[in-house]
Structure 1
Amino acid sequence: MMKQKWKPGNMIYPLPAVMVSCGNHEHANIITIAWTGTICTNPPMTYVSIRPSRYSYELIKETGCFVINLTTRRLTKATDYCGVKSGKDRDKFKDMRLTPSYENETHCPMIDESPVNIECKVKEIHELGSHHMFIADILNVYVDPHYIDEKGKFHLNKTDLIAYSHGAYLTLGKEIGTFGYSIKSKKKVKNTNKMK
């Protein structure tokens, strides 16, 4: 059968499901974002794309900073809630019993329950259409020491991260390979066929 042709749309899945915290001590908020990712390694840069109608849009525009908080299975309900409720009339930190931490360079709230907090400073805003893209420098990364072993290695995949795919939250599942495994040298298999 031939594949069906659909109209243009975003079908790149799965995506990260992250909670982006923003604002300050007086007006702290959380928005769940799927449109985010890495755009440069050196210097380290990222982005989030947000609709201008969202409450967090103005907070980020005013303060010039935000924090990307990675999410886990335990944070799934909070991740969903922070994506469907507005911070205009709700205190999402309080509603979801999340702990704001301001111990960072920008004093932008971080979610203490997240295993990884990525502190970002806005560099540019691109008005693209339905969403505006905030391109940002990554200032600092904060990690939960519970996932650091005695040799100093951080085990991110043991934090039980979740992803978002086509309307559903998913766990990442088991490891099926590691970076570069497809080209690692293999032991030569001896030819056991004998010429007759």
Structure 2
Amino acid sequence: MRAPVDEPIWYAYPGMVAVVTAQYEGEKNAMASGWHTYIGSSPGMYGISVNKETYTYKMIEKSGVFGVNFLPGRCSELIQALGTHSGRDINKFEEFNIQSEEGLKAEIPILNDAYFAYECKVHSMSTLGDQEWIVGEVLQRYRDKELFLRNGMPNLEKLDIPLHIGKSSYRILNSKAEERQHAFDSKAD
């Protein structure tokens, strides 16, 4: 039975973890972020939550740009490693053999393994609790069209999506997961 809880615990799992990339003065970094979302479409905006003390935050603050990369299920161990090691201590691109290409519109790495990615220019940064909410205007999108259906949905026959269920555990969403179709009413408020 559900009951009130007084402890400061959080629940938002399972969820997709994005890999946020940054670059400044030739140095690159990548970190896992479970707190992120698209915000608007005209213009396209994407938001990420980053602790102000992180190496990634400092690079984004100085460069004014960041990348958001979505990696397939086979990369869940890399995603976890990127979320548990600091770029201050190691070069994650060398240590984890991360392959990337330079963004088309911003000086940020776009990960070769990403099936979808954004290049973003910082629009605003706000302190919310112990996190910085960074909103970026989407400058460029990348998509592996072979992994998506014509309707824009992921093709789970070809793509496994890692879902973080908490701590260092992941479940893989693929075609074996049950699908339920529901009527869509575009007039709903």
- Structure 1-normalised TM-score? 0.82
Counterpart of 1:130, as a letter, is D
Matched, 1:16 2:16: yes
Question: How far is 1:77 from its partner?
Answer: 1.1
Cα offsets for 1:39-93 (capped at 9, x unmatched): 2232211111111111101000111111111021111111011111110121111
User: How far apart in 1 are the matches of 2:20 and 2:98?
Assistant: 13
Count, aligned residues: 180
TM-aligned CA deviation for residue 4 of structure 1: 4.0
Q: Distance in 1 between matches of 2:47 and 2:184?
A: 32
Query: Which amino acid is the alignment partner of residue 22 of structure 1?
Result: A
1:171 matched to 2:172? The reply is yes
What residue is the counterpart of 1:28 in the other structure? 28
1:52, 1:131 within 8 Å by CA — same for their partners in 2? Answer: yes
Please identify which structure carries the higher strand content. Answer: 2
Q: Aligned residue for 1:109?
A: 109
Tell me: CA distance 1:175–1:2, structure 2 relative to 1, closer, same or farther (3 Å).
closer
Worse-superposed segment, 20-29 or 85-94: 20-29
Distance 1:148 1:15 in 2: 19
Cα distance in 2 for residues equivalent to 1:132 and 1:121: 15
State the partner residue of 1:65: 65
Equivalences for residues 21-170 of structure 1 within 5 A: 21-24=21-24, 26-147=26-147, 156-158=154-156, 159-167=159-167, 168-170=169-171
CA distance in 1, matches of 2:153, 2:12: 26
Classify the secondary structure of the residue corresponding to 2:183.
Answer: helix
Measured after TM superposition, the shift of residue 29 of structure 1 is 0.4
Distance 2:74 2:155 in 1: 14
Could you tell me how far apart the structure 2 residues matched to 1:117 and 1:183 are?
A: 28
Q: How many angstroms apart in 2 are the aligned matches of 1:164 and 1:117? A: 18
Aligned partner letter, 2:68: I
Tell me by how many angstroms 1:25 deviates.
Answer: 6.7
| Percent of pairs with identical residues | 22
Tell me the SS of whatever aligns to 1:10.
coil
What TM-score comes out, normalization by structure 2 length?
0.85
Q: Are the counterparts in 1 of residues 24 and 62 from structure 2 also a CA contact under 8 Å?
A: no
